[in-house]
Structures are given as structure tokens and as C-alpha cells.
Structure 1
């Protein structure tokens, strides 16, 4: 059996984390979503030897360490420099989108309020960036 798709979601909102996990499981049943409630917890996980998720999803607005700060730190971890990091934020502000890309975001998704919208966006991301999909082999 193939290895599961390993995903890290960095988001301080417990409802958003739960919805993300449920939607991701419905799109990709062989995915495993791990989460972190802020940038510090995420970096603790990401700096461990052997912990390299296939995809990282990152919220911008978090306490203690915001998403841009976390993204810059992720990009300093050598084995993660080319790993897809997708910003998942409520902000549609072009300044936030531009700053995220400048900091190293692979892509940027504006969080929707409806499950179907979230599902559509996540399915598109998986199709585009899943390292195990046929388009990436």
C-alpha cells in the first residue's frame, strides 16, 4: 500500500482545523492531517528529524507568531525549502497575498465559509501540488 499523504495544518482556530481535516479526508481518504495551533508549535514539529509533511497549510492571523513569520522560518529549514506551503487565510487583501508570495508561499487560498467552497479549493490544491498524484510522477 502506498504511503499516506502527510499534511500539516497550522491554524489557531479549532473549528477550522476540524473542518479542514474532515474535508481533506473526504477528498483524499489516504491523507493524514497533523496540526499545530501556532507557528511555534509548527516549527517545533518541523525541526524534528524525520518529520517532513508532503504539504503544509498555513493561516496568516495567529497569536504569538503570525503566518508570515512562520513561513519565513519554514523556508529556512533546508529540507522544506521546496515543500509546498499554501497560505489558507480569511484575508483577500492583495497586500497579504503579495507578502505571502514574497515570503515563500507556494499558493494562497482565501478561506470560504461554505464546506463546498473549501472542498473545491482543497481539491484543486491537491491536484496541483500532491507529490503522489500522476501529474507529479
Structure 2
């Protein structure tokens, strides 16, 4: 890989396996990836206060207990501190209403979670190419 630029990603997902496999895909794609992991929307919002610099991109699951992904997205995009951060919804949902609402709230992308590591690797590569600073 010739791209040696650092990318910082926050993964917000309540499913430990999904976090692990996305983390693996991102680290395999680039050794220059800094990752933060949150298992709930509230944990992510609390973590963002401590993360400097802010992540280059956030990967956000929709279906989580407590604050839903849509609620987290809404809070992020209403915050002058975080509204500039691209948020990609990465979810099992195929519902057009979820996609539409996510874009209305300011999502930069909406991806249905792939079922293979190859699919996650393709997402990791696209994130690096689009968001590495």
C-alpha cells in the first residue's frame, strides 16, 4: 500500500462480533488506522469528548439498545463540535425508511452490513480512500 496517511475511525456498534470484524478489516487495510470502539450510542457520545483530534469518520449501527443509531446521528449533526464528521450508517437494516431518515439527519452514507470479510474489506478500503487525511 502506498497510502501512508493516518485515518481515525470511531465504530459504534452494540454487537461485539460486528465491531471485531470491522476493526479487523480496517486494520488489515491499513496499519495507519487509529480506531475507537463504542458498544453503545451513549458510550460513543461520552468518548467523543475525550478523543482529540476528532475521528475522521464514524461508522454507526442503527439498531442498538438505549440511544438508537438515528438518535446518535441526530445529536452528532446538531452539535457544532461534531457535525463536520462524516457518519456512515453500517447496519443490517434494508428498510427504505431507515435509509431515508438517516440521510435526512445528515448521514454521509448508508451501507447494509455485508455477510463476508471480503465485503467488510471493500468497505474498509473505500473508507481509507475517501476519508484518510
Structure 2 length-normalised TM: 0.90
The residue aligned with 1:104 is: 106
The residue aligned with 1:121 is: 123
Deviations 1:8-50 (A, max 9, x none): 0000000011111110011121101111111100111123473
Provide runs of 4+ in structure 1 moved above 2 Å.
47-51
After TM superposition, list the pairs within 5 Å mapping 1:21-40 onto structure 2.
Answer: 21-40=23-42
| Residues 49 and 120 (structure 1), Cα distance of their counterparts in 2 relative to 1, 3 Å cut | closer
What's the secondary structure of 1:34's corresponding residue? strand
The residue aligned with 2:67 is: 65
Gaps of 5+ in 2: none
What's the secondary structure of 1:75's corresponding residue? helix
Alpha-carbon offset, residue 51 of structure 1: 4.8
Structure 1 length-normalised TM: 0.87
Alpha-carbon offset, residue 80 of structure 1: 1.7
Deviations 1:68-125 (A, max 9, x none): 0000111122132121110000112111111100111011111011110111123223
Which gives a bigger RCO, structure 1 or 2 (Cα 8 Å, sep 6+)? Answer: 2
Q: Does 2:17 correspond to 1:5?
A: no
Give the number of equivalent residue pairs. 130
What's the secondary structure of 2:34's corresponding residue? strand
The residue aligned with 1:95 is: 97
Gaps of 5+ in 1: 133-137
